[in-house]
Structure 1
């Protein structure tokens, strides 16, 4: 490329043509619709409750709001990079509930309404009591799907690579890996409908333990939420641009 030529679309929009589904876990109003979110739904050959209320910091900052704020910030970055971004919920409203995990887990799948995703990332934060006799519980962990024949066997390997990219990006951004869940920042589970129902590479990330004071300070801070969003966007870019 000569000095007078404009930069290529690939260099300015490296994610052009890519579709990313971001799943901000829970919904702020879930706590007002307990019978609705308790309804059993398919979770990959077995049933689980539709959804849950989510966690909160000791000061009362809700996980649903944290998940939403990080997802919206990450969407902004990914759009600048050229990606088409789909969110599994359209708002963070105290008057709404859901969607259920069976809907979240299929958004972006081939054959479903809307575009087929290149990956789906479910954004959460944990709520484990900390400061116990077992030591301090803090840090992130990335959950990838385990092998579930007929359900996840086709996405396990690419999801494993996605999990590593998310873990590496969070560590590079200065976030500590979990001291209490998974191994080296990565866990494997086969009981999560959001992962089991996916036909595209997917992981769920618990970005922090909201009950830990240091993690809570990050979660409650707009600066902290932007740091999480930048790390997730970098992970997605690393995965999609090889």
Structure 2
């Protein structure tokens, strides 16, 4: 059967998933730059406002795709560069530990967890960025460090740096980072501590339980929002959303 990692994946030096995720983020960022005709004000792009995460639009207007599409948007070149660098540094190692399928599950369920935290506790400000999922990878790294009793120095340095950025720079979604971190740790625990017999099945069940719980929380939160029809309109060079009750004419 060949050698396996602690997560049950085949040993491999591949990091194609990480490279692909970075490439998708960069391509979408460039599209928003072209639409906005600005490298630094790409939040003026229609694609940006159609895909960012915002509670009223996501839960009230039923635009559920924003839970995931927001994780591929960024505000400006520094934002995309920082997240691409973090994903490259952390993601490659975790892709080798988990393999492609488990790694993708970890990444997207962490993104779901980050969006869930924003929808539950956020202040309504539009949220974008891959950092929620990246914090999920940090949470995963923490569980692996504890499981293997590794030297935690590198982990602590990463956590301190990211915590400083999270709490010191205005506009960064603290809830997205917290949600991603916790979710990534839970998914990794479900994978690493699954029974050895029928390992893949138990890993899938554990990951699914986390994902279903998050979807349930979003669904519960959605019951607090009225049903709306919303559309963006360009007002003095900036897009604004106008909403009305879906029952009104």
Q: TM-score, normalised by structure 2?
A: 0.31
- TM-score under structure 1 length normalisation: 0.32
Higher relative contact order (CA closer than 8 Å, sequence separation 6+): 1
Instruction: Give the greater-gyration-radius structure (CA).
Output: 2
Normalized per residue, the structure richer in strand is 1
Specify which structure has the higher proportion of helix: 2
